[in-house]
Amino acid sequence: MSSHVDGKAAAGRVAFVGAGPGDPGLLTARALELIALADVILYDRLIPREALAGARADAELRYVGKQGGGAFVPQEETEALMLERARAGALVVRLKGGDPFVFGRGGEEALTLRAAGIPFEVVPGITAGIAAAASAGIPVTHRGLASAVALITAHEDPGKPDAALDWAALAAFPGTLVFYMGVRTLPALTARLIEAGRPPGEPAAVVAQGTLPEQRTVLATLETIAAQAASAGLGAPAITVIGAVAALHAELEWRTPGPLAGVTVAVTRARAQASSLAAQLRALGARAIEAPAIRIVATSDELPPLGEFDLVCLTSANGVELLFERLAARGEDARALAGAVVAAIGPGTARALREHGVIADVVPERFVAEGLLDALAGVDFSRVLIARAARARDVLPDALRARGAVVEVVSLYETVAEPLDPAVVPAIAEADYLSFTSSSTVRFFLSSAAPGPATRIVSIGPVTSATLREHGLEVNVEATRHDIDGLVEAIIADHEARSAAA
């Protein structure tokens, strides 16, 4: 197994990395760096799904957490795997929610490594107790209200919160209590605290899904919080804040719901591009599930000298990236396109060209092959290069040949199936929207999964819609502008129309 440590080969080692409370924006720079370098990533349930997006394509990604009450990977097995991979020379990232040393068993695992003589690094993460509170406008300390904060956990037994906890000491603690415990334990927990002398009228708040788009907060008192959180239906993961600071939620709540608040959208495009669409959706308040169904693989097809052509057509941003990679590999740059008219199929492709210093001469109004043909109506050309994906539609080359041009098609990349991560399959089935950005995303997604019964199917345009219908699916939303911005606009419009109707 290869190992990469800051670019150099090295002996195996382990990094305990905190992935933060859930919002992928709260991953640290060092966490992202190590995720990108790792040979092996052993991850838990509560990490942001997006955290793995930057992993190497050939990295081994292993889920070693608890599965919602069901099967789980025993601690010894996780530690054995970690030791085995590190001994084999791998850089192992042990990725944990929040901070690895706050209720994350990171300390135990580090002791095992020390005993085995394996070097390790610890990358702190933003712990949920502080982050979820802050995200709900609750500062865990506040001048005049709390000058100390206690982070507390116990075994999850709703009947009796851990006997190991000193309830009298917690009741007397002069500051904020933050419990990392399920909502189900709240009735017993609050009863114990009140019994031990904590004032029943003290402010208390539960923050569920802290820092995530679906974050919810309930503010009540120590006496009433259990019942109120239950009736509001707050679920895991959640923290409970007890103390005067909890009441600041009412004044300092700062998150404003975006137009897609409460909406879950699954994204099937390739991982490399899924993230930007997912980030756009999240910024609008949606929960985005990255479920890449395809992967882009460069082909070995020869790129002819570009000087031979008077028109070069590019039909995707991927095509642009790979074209420039090929040019760079033979010592060329954007000037190779100097003699040709450059046509881009749509604004995404044009944007990718612009990033390489080339302004497209032709960009159609309709972002499909037929649109590009219309846009080329007034353009003179005799030798055309179409740089695109393998097995794309032949509409464009056929029509340009029919106009008398000599057309060469070079396949720069191939779209292959990306196996769906089993951990995201249940979330996809429950998504409100499932988005498809190309026919290949449709084919490859449907070869291993199916949309949920209540999920609305979103298509980027007519070609993708036709493929969806061929596969027996109804298209609920079709973008009128056939690019990513258009897709997002269409989802917002559909959601608004449905909310208004409801």
The contact set with ligand SAH (CB under 6 A) reads 21-22, 46, 96-99, 102-104, 127-128, 132, 180-182, 207, 209-212, 237-239
Of the pair 230, 399, the CB lying nearest ligand SAH is at 230
Going from the C-alpha of 347 to that of each of 118, 188, 217, 247, 429, the distances in angstroms are 50, 58, 40, 48, 31
User: Is 166 in the active site?
Assistant: no
Question: Which candidate, 90, 81, 75, places its Cα nearest to that of 15?
Answer: 90
CB atoms within 10 A of CB 287: 22
Question: Which candidate, 42, 44, 29, 61, places its Cα nearest to that of 97?
Answer: 44
Of the pair 14, 128, the CB lying nearest ligand SAH is at 128
Catalytically annotated residue among 66, 166, 333, 485: 66
3-state secondary structure 247-268: HHHHHHCCCCCCCCCCCEEEEC
Whole-number Å distance between alpha carbons of 19 and 111: 21
Q: How far is the CB of 45 from ligand SAH (least distance, A)?
A: 9
Of the pair 218, 407, the CB lying nearest ligand SAH is at 218
List, edge to edge, every strand of the sheet that includes 13-18: 60-63, 40-43, 91-96, 13-18, 120-123
* Burial zone of 89 (CB within 10 Å; 0-12 exposed, 13-18 middle, 19+ buried): middle
List, edge to edge, every strand of the sheet that includes 477-478: 287-290, 264-267, 433-436, 456-459, 477-478
Q: How far is the CB of 132 from ligand SAH (least distance, A)?
A: 4
Of the pair 102, 345, the CB lying nearest ligand SAH is at 102
Q: How far is the CB of 159 from ligand SAH (least distance, A)?
A: 17
Of the pair 180, 367, the CB lying nearest ligand SAH is at 180
Catalytically annotated residue among 23, 39, 44, 483: 44
Q: Is 258 left (phi over 0), alpha (psi -120 to 50) or beta?
A: beta
Whole-number Å distance between alpha carbons of 196 and 223: 13
The letter for the amino acid at 26 is L
Task: Report the residue number whose CB is nearest to ligand SAH.
Answer: 98
Q: How far is the CB of 124 from ligand SAH (least distance, A)?
A: 9
**237 preceded by a cis bond (ω within 30 of 0):** yes
Of the pair 26, 477, the CB lying nearest ligand SAH is at 26
CB atoms within 10 A of CB 156: 13
Kindly report the backbone phi and psi dihedral angles of residue 431, in degrees, each rounded to the nearest multiple of 5, phi listed first: -65, 150
Q: How many residues does the chain have?
A: 502
User: Is 23 in the active site?
Assistant: no
Q: How far is the CB of 41 from ligand SAH (least distance, A)?
A: 16
Q: How far is the CB of 92 from ligand SAH (least distance, A)?
A: 18
Q: How far is the CB of 283 from ligand SAH (least distance, A)?
A: 18
Of the pair 101, 475, the CB lying nearest ligand SAH is at 101
The letter for the amino acid at 269 is R
Q: How far is the CB of 46 from ligand SAH (least distance, A)?
A: 5
Q: Which two tokens stand for residue 270?
A: 């390739």
Q: Which two tokens stand for residue 430?
A: 């429950």
Of the pair 238, 296, the CB lying nearest ligand SAH is at 238
Q: Which two tokens stand for residue 263?
A: 């909406």
Residues with a catalytic annotation lie at: 44, 66
